[in-house]
Amino acid sequence: MKKVFFSMLLLAALFVTGTSAKAQSSPVKIGVFDIEMMVRAMPGAAKVDTLVALYERDSLQAEYQFYYKEFQRLDSTWKADSATNKPKTVLDLVAQQRQQVGMNIAYWQQIAQQKSEQKRAVLSQPMTEQVINAYKKVLDTRKYALVLKPGSYEVGVSTIENVFQYVAKELKIKLPDELGGDLQEESKAAPAAGGAAKQPAGGAKTK
């Protein structure tokens, strides 16, 4: 039994040693990328911003005004019905409707934000698909073991590739400086805040 245990322990040690040696000879390839940030860097992103702003100003503001006026109407109706001793079932129905509208007003900021994000997602869908397709091609070519979001690695890491540059090259678009700028001679250094290169904006650094 001891011989079997010793043999298994020896095999495990050899496996760990071999894996470690392989890792040292072939370092893990890591990239940094974020699909949403890349979509916002697309040439059509400014138009989407304009359309979303118009939607918020026209549609969402009108919807909020409707809820506000409807709440006032239902409140006045409930008070008038109470004063004239309307049946409890009628009063309860109006009170329930008033409460539902009031909840929309109370949580309007969250509701409006969700609607705005949904509108942006719909308008950005064609660009999102282009980015995803380009990203998949880069992944197939570059063979990353891990892709991190900007800000999710420690400052000073220089072995992480800036995937934004490769995706931008695949899309044939100019990459903003804050995301690393245009690809230069297969540069593998990912932008890092405080270092020689820039770190793509967005996301907090984690340890």
Q: Which of 139, 203, 42 is nearest to 191 (CA)?
A: 203
**Residue-level pLDDT, tens digit, the chain, 207 residues:** 544 434 443 344 444 444 444 445 567 789 999 999 999 999 999 999 999 999 999 999 999 999 999 999 999 999 999 999 999 999 999 999 999 999 999 999 999 999 999 999 999 999 999 999 999 999 999 999 999 998 877 655 557 899 999 999 999 999 999 898 887 654 444 444 333 345 565 544 443
Output DSSP code: residue 152.
S
Q: Where are the domains of the chain?
A: 23-179
- Tell if the pTM clears 0.85, that is, is over it: no
- Name every residue whose Cβ is closer than 8 Å to that of residue 26 and which is 6 or more positions away in sequence: none
Angle at 46 between CA 147 and CA 169, to 5 degrees: 40
